[in-house]
Amino acid sequence: MLESRPRFRKTMPWLLAGVLLGGLAMPLLAQESTQAMTAAKQVDPYAGQSLELFTVNNLWVMIAAMLVFIMHLGFAMVESGLTRSKNTVNILFKNTMIPCIGLVTFAICGWKIMYPGDAAENWIIPNWFNFGFGISGGLKGDIASNTPLYSGGNYTVWTDFLFQGMFAATAATIVSGAVAERVKLAPFLIFSVLFVAISYPITGSWKWGTGWLDDLGFADFAGSTLVHAVGGTGALMGALILGPRLGKYSKDGAVNPIPGHSMPLATIGVFMLWFGWFGFNGGSELSANPEGVSWVLVTTSLAAAGGAIGCGMMSWIIGGKPDLSMALNGILAGLVGITAGPDTANWIEAITLVGMASGVLCYLSVLFFDRLRIDDPVGAISVHMVCCIYGTLCCGLWGTNGLYGSGETAGGSQLIKQIIGCGSIVLFTAVFTGVVFMILKATTGLRVSEEEEREGLDLGEHDMAAYPDFQQTYIKSYHAREI
């Protein structure tokens, strides 16, 4: 201990000198740090927007994508509930595979076809086909794709892909309901791949990909035409080419109702869809803008309520008894109808001119297609094609269109744009889906045999039963015939 003191005395001056120099250097280091921070601010990785606001906007769009995802469960419940129990496994399998097919195909080529960038200008089919993992070419951590420098600063490219990918699969799900109980599984899945990978993104690029309909001023806020009319048109072509279910129509022209096996499932499904529509329409605001999102949610809900009242009352007045399936489809009709313009309709218009009118139109449309002997087990054509066309035209009939970017008010000019946009998308989709269905019919075959249709697609396609405790007799009978 005593020997260490002289060493300490020798090093003490050097320590004092170090502390003094360090104290003198601190202001210089602080100044350099301030200059570095100033330089970083000049780069401004958040494009003039606060990190907090960017995070909130991005979070809302991600939540909206999750809400759209849960709509696939709603579709599965509606379709299985409104059809017979012997086809439940088949319907659930299709509705399980469709969102999976949709996400994968959208990642492989759908994204680039739908959002081709500058190549979209003046092209009907932009960039033709852009195969490859097309999420803007962005990698994790790419500042250009995953900060507010991307797409106006509201969300990352990955959030954008997830939200749009959930939309893509919805179109094929709509077709599934209209061709239920008689379509072969494998050809339908092939159709779904081609439909979601090619047809849907091409027509989507015309508006959302800044294509020719966007330049024209066509208005479709959340995809009434771009999603639902596309799915509804595919449903119409599929039902036409397949033909009606056995026993649906008599030779004398009478319509024989084929009731679904579970109205509770159908009811749960519709309310799941209504819940998911908060993300479908509310997320299409593409930010967490309090005024915009809240107004869209209000008009969406009021239109759904109006649709149920309109369709339910029509069934009571014309049919003599209130029909639950019609009231449920009325909710969906109101939701589809308002999807084109939930940001511009006022609350009275949302209830009456959009919601109730869509519900009444849905009921009359179901009767019309039955008269034409076009069998649609779940009413998908009436809900998703007829009501979406009406809802899209509503954007040109009343309200203002300023939020769509054109700054024009409703009237003759805007109505013509809506007719052109809706007509072109429906026509393209009808030709594409008609050709695909006809090719599949001529090659793989499209419809199951009469025996399989009578036994049920659950046994013929899957060798399973949704309710085995109640279907053992049918299973034994089926296998006995096979032996």
Per-residue 3-state assignment (H helix, E strand, C coil) for the chain: CCCHHHHHHHHHHHHHHHHHHHHHHHHHHHHHHHHHHHHHHHHCCCCCCCHHHHHHHHHHHHHHHHHHHHHHHHHHHHHHHCCCHHHHHHHHHHHHHHHHHHHHHHHHHHHHHHCCHHHHCCCCCCCCCCCCCCCCCCCCCCCCCCCCCCHHHCCCHHHHHHHHHHHHHHHHHHHHHHCCCCECHHHHHHHHHHHHHHHHHHHHHHHCCCCHHHHHCCCCCCCHHHHHHHHHHHHHHHHHHHCCCCCCECCCCCECCCCCCCHHHHHHHHHHHHHHHHHHHHHHHCCCCHHHHHHHHHHHHHHHHHHHHHHHHHHHHHHCCCCHHHHHHHHHHHHHHHCCCCCCCCHHHHHHHHHHHHHHHHHHHHHHHHHCCCCCCCCHHHHHHHHHHHHHHHCCCCCECHHHCCCCECCHHHHHHHHHHHHHHHHHHHHHHHHHHHHHHHHCCCECCHHHHHHCHHHHHHCCCCCHHHHHHHHHHHHHHHC
Mean pLDDT of the 112-118 span: 73
Indicate whether 221 pLDDT > 80. Answer: yes
Q: Are 366 and 318 in contact (CB under 8 A)?
A: no
Confidence of residue 474 (pLDDT cuts 50, 70, 90): low
| 188 & 223 share domain | yes
What confidence score (pLDDT) does residue 411 get? Answer: 62
| 476 & 428 share domain | no
With a CB cutoff of 8 Å and minimum separation 6, the contacts of 403 are 221, 292, 343, 344
Indicate whether 27 pLDDT > 70. Answer: no
| 238 & 251 share domain | yes
Mean pLDDT of the 374-386 span: 97
Mean pLDDT of the 358-363 span: 98
Indicate whether 86 pLDDT > 80. Answer: yes
| 304 & 160 share domain | yes
Confidence of residue 397 (pLDDT cuts 50, 70, 90): confident
| 393 & 476 share domain | no
Indicate whether 365 pLDDT > 90. Answer: yes
What confidence score (pLDDT) does residue 303 get? Answer: 98
What confidence score (pLDDT) does residue 472 get? Answer: 61
Query: Is the Cα torsion angle 73, 427, 111, 63 positive or negative in sign?
Result: negative
Q: Are 14 and 20 in contact (CB under 8 A)?
A: no
| 362 & 483 share domain | no
**Residues of the chain with pLDDT > 70: what percent?**
77
Indicate whether 442 pLDDT > 50. Answer: yes
| 82 & 189 share domain | yes
What confidence score (pLDDT) does residue 22 get? Answer: 44
Mean pLDDT of the 132-147 span: 52
Asked whether residue 442 is domain-assigned, the answer is yes
> Which span out of 132-146, 172-186, 398-412 was modeled with the highest average pLDDT?
172-186
Residues 445-456 pLDDT 10s: 999 999 999 999
Asked whether residue 29 is domain-assigned, the answer is no
What confidence score (pLDDT) does residue 142 get? Answer: 55
Mean pLDDT of the 42-65 span: 80
CATH number of the domain where residue 344 is located: 1.10.3430.10
Asked whether residue 24 is domain-assigned, the answer is no
Mean pLDDT of the 315-325 span: 96
Mean pLDDT of the 196-216 span: 91
Mean pLDDT of the 396-406 span: 51
| 467 & 322 share domain | no
| 410 & 472 share domain | no
Confidence of residue 135 (pLDDT cuts 50, 70, 90): low
Query: Is the Cα torsion angle 77, 81, 84, 86 positive or negative in sign?
Result: positive
> At 283, phi and psi to the nearest 5?
-70, -25
Confidence of residue 109 (pLDDT cuts 50, 70, 90): confident
Mean pLDDT of the 39-44 span: 42
Indicate whether 140 pLDDT > 70. Answer: no
Confidence of residue 309 (pLDDT cuts 50, 70, 90): very high
Domain total of the chain: 2
pLDDT higher at 443 or 141: 443
What is the C-alpha to C-alpha distance for residues 209 and 134, in angstroms, rounded to an integer? 14
Q: How far is CA 386 from CA 27, 98, 205, 231, 240, in A?
A: 72, 23, 22, 11, 16
Domain that holds residue 480: 451-483
What confidence score (pLDDT) does residue 117 get? Answer: 61
Confidence of residue 126 (pLDDT cuts 50, 70, 90): very low
Asked whether residue 458 is domain-assigned, the answer is yes
What confidence score (pLDDT) does residue 38 get? Answer: 41
| 371 & 483 share domain | no
Q: How far is CA 178 from CA 113, 183, 245, 369, in A?
A: 27, 10, 11, 12
pLDDT higher at 125 or 53: 53
Q: Are 425 and 229 in contact (CB under 8 A)?
A: yes
Asked whether residue 5 is domain-assigned, the answer is no
What is the C-alpha to C-alpha distance for residues 402 and 226, in angstroms, rounded to an integer? 20
CA count, 13 A, side-chain hemisphere, 123: 19
| 456 & 342 share domain | no
| 468 & 394 share domain | no
User: Radius of gyration of the chain from Cα atoms?
Assistant: 29
What confidence score (pLDDT) does residue 468 get? Answer: 85
Asked whether residue 267 is domain-assigned, the answer is yes
Q: Are 454 and 478 in contact (CB under 8 A)?
A: no
Provide the mean pLDDT of the chain.
83
Mean pLDDT of the 35-58 span: 63
Residue type, 2: L
Residue type, 436: V
Residues 227-272 pLDDT 10s: 999 999 999 999 999 999 999 999 888 999 999 999 999 999 999 9
Asked whether residue 194 is domain-assigned, the answer is yes
Please, is 100 exposed, middle or buried when counting C-beta atoms within 10 Å of its C-beta (0-12, 13-18, 19+)?
A: exposed
Asked whether residue 30 is domain-assigned, the answer is no
What is the C-alpha to C-alpha distance for residues 359 and 352, in angstroms, rounded to an integer? 10
> Do you know the residue count of the chain?
483
